[in-house]
Structure 1
Amino acid sequence: MIDVALVGAGRIGKIHGANLARLPGVRLRWVCDAVPEVAIDLAGRVGAEVGSVDGVLEDPGVHAVVIASSTDTHADLILRAAAARKAIFCEKPVDLDLGRARACAAAVARAGVPCLIGFQRRYDPTFTALKRRLDAGEIGDPEVLVITSRDPAPPPLAYVRRSGGVFKDMLIHDLDVCRWILADEADTVHVAASCLVDPAIAGADDADTTAVTIRTRRGRLCQINTSRRAAYGYDQRVEVLGSAGMLQAGNHRPTEVTAHRAGAISSDPPEAFFLERYRAAYAEEMLHFADVVRGVAAPRTGIEDGVRALALAEAAGRSWREGRPVAIAEGAA
């Protein structure tokens, strides 16, 4: 039996907690949160106890820690969990500061513990099917990757101000998908960005609409377009052009019913938001983490992936602010 502690009982913590509670051979022992009422509520739902971070890390019976707390706590919790020799799962990003993220990766390496980062798109059944077929050579050598990633509405302004900006908060997922799908590292990144959705976001020194072009070390191209507003739902699509064809992965919809009428043919809009769109991915992510803790699987999304995606996000932000392409140092991303 694997005993797990969950730190953070908010929106994503509830998802991870419910998925952990359903896994055979896994026991969610502890739930910790800075707000006691939130921890009590989730612990009651999943049959766990409410604990403290200090107590969890000192408990020799706890094999693994899932970090789903606010971004500003991630690095400290990773460092402490590594020192306690616990297996770690942490939501993205590792930290908003690249130097601190690299320090976390070094601490994890010294401790010799697994540390997975929550890039759930790598676990999505649709995207993984595309990746599997690409790797099997179905469309030859990949040449161009196009990623569309659009939220239905912007987050609250208070969140925008503490999120680290659109590149470290939102696009970090797309930057990881670029590295994963193309199996290549970035050579240059060039960004154009605007504030078209909410002028208050510009007042927070951020953008809400972006166009990113990445040239990889093998010369492949990736174009990422993102927006904080898509009136029709959560828009998540990937297209890969190869030397022998093309692979596309489209949106998920609540149902696949299509209505054919005299004036129009219609279907459901995409899923409402990420919790619905990536429901299966989150479940698969926790199943994989359990296999890693058992020692029967290697991490698909290790802490080094988190560091490299953050380095790309920093370079993207610099490209936007300086209005020029930014070169990525060898080994940085």
Structure 2
Amino acid sequence: MSAVDLILIGRNEGDRLRRCLASAQGQARRMVYVDSGSSDGSVAAAEAAGAEVVHLDLSRPFTAARARHQGFLHLEATGGAAEIVQFIDGDCAIAPGWIETARAALLAEPKRGLVTGWRREIAPGASIYNALAQVEWHRPAGEIRACGGDMMLRRTAYLEAGGFDARVIAAEDDELCCRLRKAGWQLLRIAEEMTQHDAAMTRFGAWWQRAVRTGHGFAQVGHLHPDYFRRERMRSWLWGLLAPVLALVGLFAAPWLTALVLLAYVLSWLRTARGLMRQEGLPRATALHHAVFLTLSKFPNLIGMLRFHLRRWMGRDMRIIEYK
């Protein structure tokens, strides 16, 4: 049976990393931990768990994509990666049975290049932000266009697609998936729990920064693959910029226009809530609450998009936007 190598990434994840390492014990042929300048004992914890540790050179901007790819390059340079590689973030734990189930699904079809499953928040009731993440992770099973960073890949597919692009600071997983699909590989989500995630997000400011980072991803990945994130970019321009400008103009020229824009926001909020009730099965009150944040997210999304374009126009490095 094909061997599996495991690549974990992290930066100051503390107990979450130790939980991740414990869940990975005995799951892979080799376990590589890529550290991005931690100062909390993460490296010692990884070494104690038997992981091979890779330190990122911090003279260059670090990104999740760069960390994951450096982990893969380490495997290749020290005997070669296994034909199957599982990537996982350090704030996640591997669900029991996932590796075997995913490996079987990946090998079932020769052109299946990636298999993913469902993330689960370990404490969705701790905050509205954790609850939002839980909804975000739960997507329909079947053939997919893209997925998050917890993924199992064939080494052949990863090499053919070119691996993670270190320049992409957000939605780097979506960007890799775009190249995998263009190379002719199938991507599959199976209806199995894959990882248990600890968002530990309790502050509005952290949620806002994460939404800014998401917008940066919309713009950067959309710049590289114009057909991808098109709807998300249009929504951000519409609700984050055009609608507020029209409302502002209405204050001075036509008050009815401002009222119309405000009504449009209310209708958008209600439509989002209905979608959450229908697609996610959320109770009405919960859906209305979640919809407030999803409607509001267009503003930080737009800020992230503008930040990407400003960096691109000025020729600056794409530095990671941290929210933890």
Instruction: From the two aligned structures, give the one with the greater strand fraction.
Output: 1
TM-score, normalisation: structure 2: 0.32
Instruction: From the two aligned structures, give the one with the greater helix fraction.
Output: 2
TM-score, normalisation: structure 1: 0.31
